[in-house]
Amino acid sequence: MGDDAAATHAFPCPDLRVYTELEWYGEPWAGLADIGGKPHYFEIDHSHQGDGYQVWPVGEAVAKLEREQWAIYARWYERREAGEVGQESHPGHGGVDARYDELGLLLAPHRSAPDSARRLRCELRFVADVDVRYRVEGPDYWLRWRPRPR
């Protein structure tokens, strides 16, 4: 099954898809996901009470770079889970994977929430029958986005 077929099978609808996870602390804190059929960054909103996120749209070129960096990480994760490499080879440590480092520099300006970011809530659901936490096509969960009550 190709990546597109796997993604279609795993997610109830395209708007729920999470492409990347940039931070996780017991729940997703930041990443890239589809909202309204378009890729958006999401980041937990520490400035307000509740379980809200700031979200802002991302152009396709930036989304492609995010997915490329995620794929580097996911392939490393697969090798680590198989016992082929250790934690010291994590690409996020810097100096381990030149392309990963380059992508980080290119993406950094896009990862900060603009003043125009929307505030939404999300519902987290893990994908059924997926036993690999981090896959090239994305993490093992989806997010359903909703307006945040005022």
What's 7-30 look like in SS3? HHHHCCCHHHCEEEEEEECCCEEE
Q: What are the structure tokens assigned to 54, written together?
A: 């700031």
Q: Is the pLDDT assigned to residue 69 strictly greater than 90?
A: yes
Its pTM stands at 0.86
Are 32 and 69 in contact by the 8 Å Cβ rule? The answer is no
Task: Quick: pLDDT tens for 6-58.
Answer: 444 444 555 689 999 999 988 889 999 999 999 999 999 877 666 699 999 99
Mean residue pLDDT of the chain comes to 88
User: Residue 110 above 80 pLDDT?
Assistant: yes
Question: Is the pLDDT score of 102 beyond 60?
Answer: yes
Cα distances (Å, whole numbers) of residue 56 to 77, 101, 113: 28, 23, 7
Give the range among 69-78, 88-97, 105-114, 126-135 with minimum mean pLDDT: 126-135
The CA distance from 111 to 43, in Å, is: 9
Q: What is the pLDDT of residue 76?
A: 97
Question: How confident is the model over 79-107, as a mean pLDDT?
Answer: 96
pLDDT surpassing 60 at residue 90: yes
Hey, is 43 helix, strand or coil?
strand
In angstroms, the CA 37 to CA 90 distance is: 32
Task: Name the DSSP class of 84.
Answer: S
Q: How far from chain centre, in Å, is Cα 135?
A: 11
pLDDT of residue 12: 52
**Local confidence band at 2 (pLDDT 50, 70, 90 cut-offs):** very low
